């Protein structure tokens, strides 16, 4: 009986772990959307988007610290912000990097795996 439980646990734990990692991506997406809202407020008072999170009075990590946030590029009409997995979230290989880009009013979201391959559907489910 104990052997059966051990086998069942060994089979279900990897799936459970993958489900937890996938659920944590929502924290990164929420943080990127918070940056987007802050950028639009900033832009309404300025001729440009903010180049740093400090200008927006935002932290450079998500609530739990599982993602590091940074504004990669910003000017008067566009910006790019990233959420980079860190700590235990680095084992989420399909979505190591989530990005949100705003350019001329258009919002584009994407994600990359550990090798830099495009994973938009996995990282930003519809």
pLDDT tens profile 11-25: 444 555 666 767 789
d(CA 53, CA 81): 10
pTM of the model: 0.83
Task: Give mean pLDDT, residues 37-57.
Answer: 97
> Which tokens in the block code for residue 94?
């399909």
Residue 7 backbone dihedrals phi, psi, to 5 degrees: -65, -45
Domain locations along the chain: 2-123
- Report helix, strand and coil shares of the chain as percent, to nearest 5: 45, 25, 30
pLDDT category of residue 121 using cuts at 50, 70 and 90: confident
The pLDDT tens digits of the residues spanning 63-118 come to: 999 999 999 999 999 999 999 999 999 988 889 999 999 998 899 999 998 888 88
Quote the pLDDT of residue 122.
81
């Amino acid at each position: 009986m104990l052997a059966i439980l051990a086998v069942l646990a060994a089979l279900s734990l990897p799936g459970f772990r993958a489900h937890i990692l996938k659920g944590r991506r929502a924290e990164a997406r929420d943080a990127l959307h918070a940056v987007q809202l802050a950028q639009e407020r900033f832009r309404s008072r300025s001729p440009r988007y903010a180049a740093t999170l400090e200008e927006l009075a935002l932290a450079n990590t998500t609530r739990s610290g599982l993602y590091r946030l940074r504004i990669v590029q910003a000017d008067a009409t566009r910006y790019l912000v990233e959420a980079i997995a860190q700590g235990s979230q680095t084992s989420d290989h399909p979505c190591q990097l989530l990005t949100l880009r705003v350019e001329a009013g258009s919002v584009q979201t994407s994600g990359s795996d550990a090798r830099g391959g495009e994973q938009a559907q996995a990282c930003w489910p519809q």
